[in-house]
Structure 1
Amino acid sequence: MLLSSSKTYDKYLEAEYGFNESIRSKLYSNNTLFGYVPNLEMTYSDSSDKITKNHKDGANRDDNKLQPFNKAYANLLECQDLQYSNNIEYSVSDQNFQIDYINMRRQLLAMDSPLAKEFTTNEEESKMSEMEIIEKRWFSFGTAAVWLKKEQCYVAYTRMIYSRHENRGSSYISVVVGQMFDKDWNEIKGRRIPFRDVKMPKEVKQLVQSLKRKLDISANCDALGHGTDAYENCATEINKNTFKIREQIDKLLDKYSIKYPTVVNIPFIMREHWNGPEDPHVILRQDKDGEEPVIIVNMNSHKDIKVHAMMPHRKIDPCVMFDIEGYDMKGFEKNWSPFFVPERVQSSDNYPGYIHFVYDYSPLQIIRCSLLTGKCKMIFNAQTAGLDNGKGYFGIIRGGTQYVSLPNVLPQLENTHIWVGFAKSHVDNCGCGDRFYRPTLIVLVETDGVYHLELVTPNVDFGKPIMGWNLKDTSCSGYNVLSPSSISNWAILDQDPITKRFEDYMVVTFSEADAISGRVVIRGILNYILQVYNKKKVRETLLIDEETVTIIQKASYCVAEKCKEECKSSAKDGITIE
């Protein structure tokens, strides 16, 4: 089905992506975004004015003839030559993600595990109320969510922190909390999703049904008279039996399904501090048999911090730790950006296939990892491919959301894959806070095994003031953090038959100040991306040559300078704390 304004198509969009007519009626702000294109086709005439001005022999040239780019003119390249600008619209939700800390904490303390005692300091906390413990020692941020078509809901995963030092920047243990939301972002509690890799036997189904029937058969205490001891004893006994039966049912169902909300069962080892999974991100794995979320976290291994994948809708070996074969990995691995290559996604509940990651942006490195064994292989390295001379291009960019393919109603290019995602820029001591983080929109392209960044758009602030680290105002004290967490869904609702412009919507989750988790609807991001090919002379393929390296180097410099410029501007706009 292509695009239509029919009710049939509207129902399709709602079922497929969770979008309905209400998304159009939101209040959107219009913003101009400046990006940089590292894969430009540069010609002699592109810099003609600058060359004429700077070189007296420029008059010997034919102005009307396009001549190849020459390294002699590389230094004449300006950021304006590589810059692309266009408009985009945002609608930031005024409802942030919330966690039921009391319920989640009670789940952790009730675990049948030695770890349960680590979530409390009995001597100190015995003198505190439960609410005081929550307010002082428990924190959360970084909610990442994806839409599940089959289940008609979002599943969202958030880092929840327990800090014995009562400081969100000093974690003792982190866990990942899973929640479920309907298409309007109302939380759904108590609902289950079956595991993909185990089936409930017929006998167990019959036992569950038998227990549920017992719940329906309740004694009538009314004949005993309200307010009498006999009535109260009767009601107490019924409640006690009901609790026991429900507990039996849950224990049976837990073997074959996951119940939301929940603390995701990710095993980890204990050290002195910074224990457990951190920085959860999520990506949707799809094959012919269905779909499932894959959570990406970093956490302690026996020696170092490693990246792990958790498949919460699987029962058998749902967690895997990644290692890159033949590669000297860092002692602290994090910020891997996941994506799927359609041809490498297997169609088997027992074998989940491969996942790809942007391992690093400086140089650009891509790895392919088995979701079964955790073994990874470096399949692309810009430096060894001759596209990075070791000067650290795009060194300020870190991982952010997952990468997603363009909406499937668009025609596919032969031998080429295109993904869109949000990384984050990281600049230190640039004028607004000790560290300055902002989302960076990136278009990632692969052609015949060669990967490159087609478009890099820094400083995507979603048109909103950013909460300061003090959680009181928009000051630049401490860290100044806006981090992208996930692309929850993305769909085209319509296309103008005359202008050919698309009406598309993307939902992105983000965190502010490592304390607040929110979401934003972006309208027109597809047009923003596609228009770059109309406004700039983008090469059809990436050529591995000296010219390309020079342009990539310049684009990297321009992105860094734009981030610093935004940082200084934020310092001027923010509230100053005396």
Structure 2
Amino acid sequence: MYTISRKRPGRPVIISLCCVVIVLIIETYFALRLYETKISDPQPQRKASFYTAGKLIIFPLSFLTLKKEAKLYYNKYFNSKLTARDSIIVNVPENPIIPDLEFKHHTFDIYETKGEVLRSRENSHEKTQDKMKCELIVRTIDVKVSEAENRNCDLRKILRQFVNSNSTYYRELEQLIPDLTLQLDDDTIAEHWFQLIGSSVWLREYGVHLLTSRIVYSKTGDKDRPVVSLTYVQIFDQHWQELENAELIVPVVEQKEKRKILTKQSKSITYKIMLYPSFAFVPIYYNTKRHRPVFYGSEDPRLILVKNSLGFEEPIINYNLFHKTIARIKKPNDKSETKATGEINFEEVEVAEFYRSMYLGWLWRTQTGKGNVDPTDTKNKEHQYIKTKELMLPNGKRTKTEKNWSPFISYTDRLQSGKDEHIYFIYQYKDLRILKCSFESDLCEWTFQLTDSPNISQLRGGTQLMSITQFLDENLENNYSSMRKIKKSIWANFSKQLAKSQVDEVWIGVPRTALRRCGCGEKLYRPHIVTLARVKNTFALTQVSSSTDFDIDVLSWSGDADHKCVGNNLILPNGISHWQVDYDDRIAQEDVLTLSFSRADITVDIIYIRGVLKNILPLLTEVVKNWKHKAEFSNQLIYCAIEGAFEYCRKYKENVYSDWKSKAPEKL
């Protein structure tokens, strides 16, 4: 029998073991912290600004209250108790974060109204619009572009939520989408439902991006033959992370929307809750017994911010809609005819007429019933929808189809009245015609017409136009009021130069050309950059670019990457989401424009573009100095831009087929 003696370890050994254990614990702790950091925050610049396990309630900056007071207000006036999982936000970032992305150079041509050049060509007895002029008024600009970022949502998820909501809106539309539940169960949503036309604005009062998109249902699965289009609304934080189960506390402009009153700076302001994400309850006309396809619902919604009577920025959508009207016409009354005189009496009868018209929709206001889209509807007369308004042409007569109006707001008008009372639209770019529509009255008016004849060219639609004048004013103010004072701001110089010119206001926008059978597919859509200037009541295009794709990878219509010139080839600009100066780069001080666009009618994408305004402003200030004759030269710019678009199509087709041939041997 052997005995094992157990000696007690000495103190030095114990101390050594303790040290080893402590080191292991420390290393393990930091390893775990590092692991957690990598998992939870792989991209620090995209870390969410807000996080909550429950509801996220965001009050406007102008609410001027503490979080504790906001909680008391919420509990008292909205009859809702907050839980420990809910969060209230009262201090929000005023500007979105400019992401730390890789940018690459991208060049394109831009045509400008150099009056002396164009007039010299006029005197040479050559036709008004010719290619030689294009060569004399063109220059190339160089911007920087990021990779495209996708913002498509999970359609299966949001449609399941739509069904589960069992809202009055869903129950009303259920007869248009009777197979939705089955499609969810069979997982065939991707075959029939599509999301496109994303348009967003930055809500400074709430520190969020608000994005609308078009959710399309096609029974056959053909994107060109949808049954109905719905408008979906989401909000994102300053890093473009979506905020779900979020409530914006928004002011009520029309007091018929009954809510309890809160006090703000001795003013009585009524507030209500807007829950996101959600479908906007847009009133629509439909007839399930109609066999011919019509395309019901709100098509191509574009967002724009307006300043309302309370001084708040409010989002509205501009869209086209198929709707029903009732007209009274005189019809012969056959019974009244007499053999003696042969006279015929007439009687008035009501007949239904159908049009596709342009509408405005106020996302934060409501209306009861939908008499302004279907006057014979009685079943839904008590239902609540967003407030909408049909935009009527000056003569009060409707055309069968209206679409592709480019909206803009006048900053100088706003300064004069303290709010936005009108919205403007470029009705057509060629033979420039501009509408001015009051938010209150029924009829719009022509505020400018180069000609009174309709002339819809290939250049049309696209994004809203944003005021360069407003951009310069606001960035000049921010520049000198911030801690980063830059005494020799390039933006201050541009602002001074524009102020010396005769021009009252200048805008920038991104329309698109729609070319048919130019050599690549049935349709080819590409963005163009334009600038528009105004002196009193005279408007003119001062710059129009050639087609550009901003180095965006085009998706094929069919989904086959090797057949980009089969079907349609589309890059469709939808909205200027935000525009700001990167003051962190003190030397360059580049402007950063966020553009939303769609590809192949199936995506919601954004791209960041650096230096657009910085490149076009130097010559823009020269262009607008001598205003005379600018309006009459607008058509020359359109002519050059469209000629350039066809040339772009030709080169693009060559590149597509060259790439295809280079890849062909790999597939043999």
TM-score for the superposition, normalised by structure 2: 0.65
Question: Are 2:361 and 1:310 equivalent residues in the alignment?
Answer: yes
Q: How far did residue 132 of structure 1 move?
A: 2.5
The within-5 A match list for 1:535-574 is 538-544=623-629, 549=632, 551-574=633-656
> Which position in structure 2 is the counterpart of 1:486?
575
SS of residue in 1 equivalent to 2:583: strand
1:299-448 equivalences under 5 Å are 299-302=321-324, 303-315=354-366, 318-326=387-395, 329-345=398-414, 353-383=421-451, 395-406=457-468, 407=471, 408=473, 409=476, 410=491, 411=495, 413=499, 416-448=504-536
Contact 1:39 1:542 in 2 (8 A): no
1:428 maps to amino acid? R
Which residue is 2:199 aligned to? 144
Distance 1:572 1:92, change over 3 A: same
**1:511 correspondence with 2:598:** yes
- 42, 63, 70: which one pairs with 2:123? 70
- CA offsets, 1:399-452, max 9 Å, x none? 110010121225363651100110001111111111110011010111111111
2:292 is the alignment partner of 1:292: no
Give the superposition deviation at 1:527.
Answer: 1.4
Residues in 1 aligned to 2:118 and 2:652: alpha-carbon distance in whole angstroms: 36
Aligned pairs for 1:133-282 within 5 A: 133-193=188-248, 194-197=250-253, 198=255, 201-202=259-260, 256-271=272-287, 272=290, 273-282=294-303
Q: Could you tell me how far apart the structure 2 residues matched to 1:40 and 1:85 are?
A: 19
Residue range with higher mean Cα deviation, 187-196 or 559-568:
187-196
Mapped contact 2:504–2:533 kept (Cα < 8 A): yes
CA distance in 2, matches of 1:256, 1:448: 39
Distance across 2 between alignment mates of 1:426 and 1:37: 21
Query: Matches of 1:36 and 1:479 in 2, distance apart?
Result: 27
Query: Which residue of the partner structure matches residue 467 of structure 1?
Result: 555
Aligned-partner residue type, residue 438 of structure 1 = R
Is 2:112 the counterpart of 1:37?
yes
Partner deviation per Cα, 1:81-103 (whole Å, 9 max, x = no partner): 01121101101234333244433
Question: What's 1:9 paired with?
Answer: none
Distance 1:446 1:166, change over 3 A: same
SS where residue 365 of structure 2 aligns? coil
Contact 1:102 1:134 in 2 (8 A): no
2:115 equivalent to 1:90: no
- Residue in structure 1 matched with residue 167 of structure 2 by the alignment: 111
CA change 1:362–1:108 in 2 (3 A) is farther
Contact 1:90/1:521, CA 8 A, preserved across alignment: yes
Decide whether the 8 Å contact of 1:496 with 1:502 is kept in 2: yes
Comparing 419-428 with 129-138, which one deviates more in the overlay?
Answer: 129-138
C-alpha separation in 1, matches of 2:124 and 2:160: 62
**1:1-24 alpha-carbon deviations (Å, 9 max, x no partner):** xxxxxxxxxxx9x9333134xx3x
Distance 1:478 1:27, change over 3 A: same
Determine the structure 2 residue equivalent to 1:17: 95
- Give the Cα–Cα distance (whole angstroms) in 2 for the partners of residues 166 and 464 of structure 1: 26
Q: What one-letter code is carried by the residue in structure 1 that aligns with 2:273?
A: S
Q: Deviations over 1:549-574 (max 9, x none)?
A: 4x544433321221011111221222
Distance in 2 (CA, whole Å) between partners of 1:127 and 1:258 is: 30
1:276 shift after superposition:
0.5
In the alignment, the residues of structure 2 paired with residue 168 and residue 107 of structure 1 have an alpha-carbon distance, to the nearest angstrom, of: 21
Structure 2 counterpart of 1:221: none
> Relative to 1, partners in 2 of residues 1:135 and 1:155: Cα closer, same or farther, differing over 3 Å?
same
User: Which region of structure 1 is more displaced relative to structure 2, 173-182 or 363-372?
Assistant: 363-372
Q: Is the Cα contact below 8 Å between 1:29 and 1:89 reproduced in 2?
A: yes
Aligned CA distance change for structure 1 residues 94 and 491 (closer, same or farther; 3 Å)? closer
Which string of whole-angstrom CA distances, capped at 9 and with x for unpartnered residues, describes residues 152-185 of structure 1? Answer: 0000000001111122221111100000001111
Instruction: Report which of the two structures shows the higher radius of gyration computed on alpha carbons.
Output: 2
Q: How many residues align?
A: 477
Number of the residue aligned with 1:132: 187
Aligned equivalents of 2:573 and 2:394: distance in 1? Answer: 29
**Residues 308 and 320 in structure 1, CA contact (< 8 A), matched pair in contact too:** yes
Q: Give the whole-Å Cα distance in 1 for the aligned partners of 2:540 and 2:141.
A: 22
In structure 2, the CA distance between the partners of 1:347 and 1:192, relative to structure 1 (3 Å rule), is farther
Counterpart CA distance in 2 for 1:505 and 1:423 is: 19
Query: Pairwise CA RMSD of aligned residues?
Result: 3.3
* C-alpha separation in 2, matches of 1:40 and 1:84: 15
For 2:568 and 2:460, the matched residues in 1 are separated by 16
Match for 2:595: what amino acid?
Answer: V
Q: What's the % identity of the aligned pairs?
A: 22
CA displacement, residues 187-222 of structure 1 (integer Å, 9 cap, x when unaligned): 0011122243257745999xxxxxxxxxxxxxxxxx
2-side partners of 1:38 and 1:201: how far apart?
53
CA contact (8 A) 1:101 1:138 kept: no
Cα distance change, pair 541–97 in 1 and its aligned pair in 2 (3 A): farther
Task: Look up the match of 1:529.
Answer: 616
In structure 2, relative to structure 1, the CA distance for the partners of 1:452 and 1:112 (3 Å cut) is: same
Deviations 1:50-74 (A, max 9, x none): xxxxxxxxxxxxxxxxxxx624366
Q: Is the 8 A contact 1:138 1:160 kept in 2?
A: yes
| C-alpha distance after superposition, 1:17-62 (max 9, x if no partner) | 3134xx3x31001011101113532288x77xxxxxxxxxxxxxxx
- Give the whole-Å Cα distance in 2 for the aligned partners of 1:561 and 1:448: 31
Structure 2 residues without counterparts, runs of 5 or longer: 1-60, 62-91, 264-270, 325-353, 368-385, 477-490
Q: Which residue of 1 aligns with 2:487?
A: none
Aligned equivalents of 1:126, 1:326: Cα separation in 2: 46
**Code of the aligned partner of 2:95:** Y
Q: 1:541 to 1:377 in 2, by over 3 A?
A: farther
Letter in 2 for 1:141: L
CA 1:119–1:43: 2 relative to 1, 3 Å:
closer
CA distance in 1, matches of 2:536, 2:262: 50
Report whether the alignment pairs 1:121 with 2:185: no
Higher relative CO (CA 8 A, sep ≥ 6), structure 1 or 2? 1
- Kindly indicate whether the alpha-carbon contact (under 8 Å) linking 1:325 and 1:375 is maintained by their aligned counterparts in 2: yes
Q: Secondary structure at the match of 1:486?
A: strand
Tell me: CA distance 1:472–1:196, structure 2 relative to 1, closer, same or farther (3 Å).
farther
CA distance change for structure 1 residues 496 and 518 in 2, over 3 Å: closer, same or farther? closer
- 2:131 and 2:101 map into 1 onto residues whose CA distance is 45
The structural deviation recorded for 1:299 is 0.5
Q: Structure 1 CA distance, aligned partners of 2:173 and 2:526?
A: 36
C-alpha deviation, 1:121, in angstroms? 2.9
Q: Partners of 1:373 and 1:276 in 2: how far apart?
A: 24
Query: What is the one-letter code of the residue matched to 1:257?
Result: I
